[in-house]
Amino acid sequence: MKYSKLVEVYKAVESTSKRLEKTKILADFLKIVHENELETILLLLQGKVFPEWDKRKLGVAAKLVIKSISLTGGKKPSDVEKKWKTIGDLGEVSKDLVGRKSQATLFSADLTVEKVYKNMVKISSVEGHGSVDTKVKLIAELLSNASPDEAIYIVRTVLEDLRVGIAEGTLRDAITWAFLIKEYEIASKGKVMSWKGPEGSYNEYKEEFELVENAFNKTNDFGIVAVAAKKGTSRLKKTGMQVGKPIQVMLGPKERNIKNAFERVGRPAALEYKYDGFRIQTHKDGGKILLFTRRLEEVTAQFPELVKRIKKFVKGDSYIIDSEVVGYNPNTGNYMPFQNISQRIRRKYDIEKLAEQLPVEMNIFDVLYYEGKEYINEPFWKRREKLKKIVTEEPLQVKLADQLITGNDKEADHFYQQSLKAGNEGLMFKKLDAPYRPGKRVGNMVKMKPVMETLDLVVVGAEWGTGKRSGWLTSFTLGCESDGEVLEIGKVGTGLKELETEGEVTFNELTELLKPLIVKEKGKLVEVKPKIVLEIAYEEIQKSPTYSSGYALRFPRVLKIRYDRGLIDCSTLDEVQDLFYGQNK
Ligand code: AMP
């Protein structure tokens, strides 16, 4: 397929804010995509080159793109950079500079989706001496053959900052419309057929929507889902989990007290310690073990001791289990808060030594797949029974999450206090007969913790400091998440330190993390890819027309960097709303 066709779709989707229109544009397009190209197209529509769980990463910074534009457009890098600071968007800069150039060379070849994709994949694999030059050339090769419009989207894609407004739900609906609802043109007229829409025509096609939704939740991969949907419902039904491919984790809303928590999950319920660690999804396939974080990043290499222990203490040839890995003091055996061990997720060297200094215990709380059978639709109590049979418990190594089944407030409170005393965050309340719902923050499990409400917000922009803070980014624009999109909720500049202080976030640390993520720069303002999540304390949530979420925070303050979180699991607009309405209770 010609890349220009895909660009037409990007532009059409970008030009409307109406979800139904976007869905229709995408559905019409997906219908004409050849099966061989569906997976690539679905990644590119999401502005991705690799799925989340893939180890390969693009990692292209703005500086590199500037060099490529300069090479193609025959301008000095400093001139490109200057233009960038005035226009603010590197895509637009490339449109201007590269566009003029390609009009001069009339014989440039037509770009194909395949070529664009191939070069991007290559970018991720070049390493070592001269790699910067090679990457610059790979991008420049695309730009020199691109039309001005194509240049925009090539640049935005390599920067992983597509911004055409295709939310996950829209893509899921588009796949359903394209392949399973033949008469969607008529059906969609005047009727709302989106996931979030009211009843009505959605109900007529409930089964179709759910098939696509389920397949996506299990595979986490729109490419696989679209290919299956194109082949028909029976193929879609067979699309199951695959060991080695992480599935979206189930999340839980928060409740303020025991009574409310029970109201959500019913009595009796399974109450579990809520450990203050990080979530690890383990996949075992024969001798091979893979560990993923809740952001679906693979972290197997960082936890060699866990790999060994899982093999020893968890029976079975192939399985997917869910757990919380929590750190403890090697001298006392007492649990430690997450931030004390967060470096274990990122550390790339001296791993064995770090594992001794910062030992961890794995607390298994769910099984999603075991020896060829999916368990997610089994009730929770059955999944727990299964775990009991396959896990040999060894405290401080691998064990089942501490659990109490009760419907009694007093017993629940006692268990809650006991959990806090042991150094945990609080309790999880789990519905006994509920299935595991991947990727959902549903009421099948509910969390309860005493600490002040904080929000985990993603940084989307910042401002370069002046005076003694020059060289650092200051004043960070924060966003929450809604259906895969980021909505702004305010700015934060306090809580960060100028000098290195144990356990505190410094301007320097945050600046270094954000610098490679800058996608737009205008004057002192920068826009960054939404990847870094901060835990934010505040005094109050207020309604505000200033920010796209409709809310703002009073006196926000940075508490810590949540290295374990990304856009998919930062605070949602729904949570912000709940907190807002709960404030005055
Ligand atoms: P929160 O991080 O506040 O959204 O709470 C949900 C998280 O608590 C999950 O994603 C897990 O990482 C963690 N967690 C700790 N203990 C448990 C448990 N027993 N069951 C489920 N999740 C747990």
Best of 249, 251, 279 to mutate for ligand 1, by most ligand atoms within 8 A of CB?
Answer: 279
Give the residue, by CA position, lying nearest to ligand 1 atom 12: 279
Q: Is 568 in the pocket of ligand 1 (CB under 6 A)?
A: no
Distance, CA 274 to ligand 1 centroid (Å)?
Answer: 6
Instruction: List, in sequence order, every residue forming a beta bridge with 321; answer none if it has no partner.
Output: 282, 367
Mutational pocket test of ligand 1: of 447, 535, 536, 575, the residue with most ligand atoms within 8 Å of the beta carbon = 447
The alpha carbon of 88 and the centre of ligand 1 are apart by a number of angstroms equal to 39
Closest residue to atom 23 of ligand 1, CA basis: 274
What is the C-alpha to C-alpha distance for residues 187 and 323, in angstroms, rounded to an integer? Answer: 43
For residue 87, the model assigns a pLDDT of 86
Q: For 455-582, which CATH class?
A: mainly beta
| pTM value surpassing 0.95 | no
Q: Does 491 contact ligand 1 (Cβ within 6 A)?
A: no
Q: Is 271 in the pocket of ligand 1 (CB under 6 A)?
A: no
Contact 542, 554 (CB under 8 A): yes
Domain boundaries along the sequence of the chain: 258-448, 455-582
Question: Pairing mode, if any, of strands 318-327 and 360-370?
Answer: antiparallel
For residue 564 and ligand 1, the question of a CB distance below 6 A is answered with no
Looking at ligand 1, which atom is closest to the CA of residue 447?
A: 5
Q: Whose CA is nearest to atom 5 of ligand 1?
A: 447
- Cα 565 to ligand 1 centre (Å): 12
Q: How many CB atoms lie within 10 A of CB 281?
A: 22
Is residue 384 lining ligand 1, measured as CB closer than 6 Å?
no
Q: Report the pLDDT value the prediction gives residue 540, as an integer from 0 to 100.
A: 83
The response to whether residue 89 sits with its C-beta less than 6 Å from ligand 1 reads no
Report the nearest-CA residue for atom 14 of ligand 1.
274
Residue 112 corresponds to which amino acid?
T
Q: Is 294 in the pocket of ligand 1 (CB under 6 A)?
A: yes
User: How far is the C-alpha of 318 from the C-alpha of 288, rounded, in Å?
Assistant: 9
CB of 366 closer than 6 angstroms to any ligand 1 atom: no
Contacts for 390 with CB less than 8 Å, ≥ 6 apart = 314, 315, 316, 319, 367, 370
Buried b (16+ CB within 10 A) or exposed e, 310-322: beebbeeebbbbb
The predicted pLDDT at position 190 comes to 44
Cis peptide bond prior to 268, omega within 30° of 0:
yes
Q: How far apart are CA 479 and CA 530, in angstroms?
A: 8
Active site residues: 274
Residues of the chain with pLDDT under 70: 99-108, 182-203, 451-452, 582-585
pLDDT at residue 169, rounded to an integer: 84
Tokens 């006392």 sit on residue = 332
Give pLDDT, residue 579: 81
Q: What is the dihedral of CA 224, 225, 227, 232, to 10 degrees?
A: 140
Helix, strand, coil percentages (3-state) for the chain, rounded to 5, are: 45, 20, 35
CATH code assigned to 258-448:
3.30.470.30
- CA–CA dist 442, 454 (Å, integer): 20
User: Residue ranges of the alpha helices (H) in 232-341?
Assistant: 233-238, 258-265, 304-313, 338-341
Residue with CA closest to ligand 1 atom 3: 447
Calculate how far, in angstroms, residue 275's C-alpha sits from the geometric centre of ligand 1: 7
